[in-house]
Structure 1
Amino acid sequence: MLLRTSPTSPFVRKVRLAAAVLGIPLELEVADTLDPNDTLRQQNPLGKIPLLITDDGEAVYDSRVIIAYLDQLAGGGQLVPNAPKARIDVLRAEALADGMMDAGVLLLYEGRFRPQEKFEKAWLDHQSAKVERALAYLEAHPLPEHEQINVADISLACALGFFDFRFEGKWREGHPGLVAWQTRFAARCPSFEETAPRL
């Protein structure tokens, strides 16, 4: 299967980690989301990555849907538990980590697409507050560490890795529990280092 990627996207990293945990090989092909001539826009009308092209030629997007598809291919119930309570707990934690990444991407794009004199402070503060609240919640309510890595673990690891990469790891101050959690995750999942973003 083919994964349309970017070497810096935390959501691409999330899919790559999920595939590695499941033992599913993926071929990687870089996509240019800003190039109207890239076939990405025909494969996904939103022109977003990650995007998976299955062996049957079907386009699957976004990261949550791709991971659900990969989990199903692997027999189901591995990254997303089948038991109702455990399933909701994991999916809720995934949504929180994904929301942190979404807010971080919006902060990044404010600097990428606007000159500094046109930055909207209220917007930046709004997005930053989302990240700060999520970090505080996760510091106070750490993810349970099960023997099997799940999609919540993967999402949180990618979120923290994204803030290390794009925001100089400033999240680490005041969050020793999350720092320790990330260290343990990296030791459990060698693919975390292998999928680290590169400029």
Structure 2
Amino acid sequence: MMDGNGLGVTRRGLLAAFAATAVAATPYYANAAGFLRGGGDIRRLRMYSGRTGERLDAIYWIEGRYVPEVLHEINHFMRDWRDNRTTSIDTRTIDIMSAAHRLMDAEEPYALLSGYRSPQTNAMLRARSRNVARNSLHLTGEAADLRLRSRSVGQMAQAAAALNSGGVGRYSGSDFVHMDCGPVRTWGS
């Protein structure tokens, strides 16, 4: 259904998005069936980047559809800040991040430490640390390293792992959690 301006978004959908008091951000994976029961009409992602000073507060899913313009915004936000390169961030990763945030009932946005990484950035980080994978899912826009001040690494990892929808790495020494849409697995302490 089109609105009066031909934008393809219903008035009811927009009102629901803006009037919602609790954002229902859920993945659509078969493994997350229990979490889907609480699914709603919108999904939201909130992040900030200490590296760039940018903030993102975006509703990227409305009434069963991703919003292409907002996904483009997310791609830009999660770019490799070292060389300003972007890629399409996998929507499964976005859904995992959003759903985990909702499960934790966190008010603060994620601090994005790393989203997409160019091959050059990944090689540089790999030379500095043995914890950087040669074929990291960051290279394909399928992973994010995140932090919340109000939640422990354990709490964040537990929320992401509860979705049973991808990889979850705990990096307690560096105070962040890795979330990706790859095979279901966990690691770290």
Range into which the TM-score falls when normalised by the shorter chain: under 0.3
Scaled by the length of structure 1, the TM-score of the pair is 0.27
Scaled by the length of structure 2, the TM-score of the pair is 0.27
**Bigger strand fraction:** 2
**Bigger helix fraction:** 1
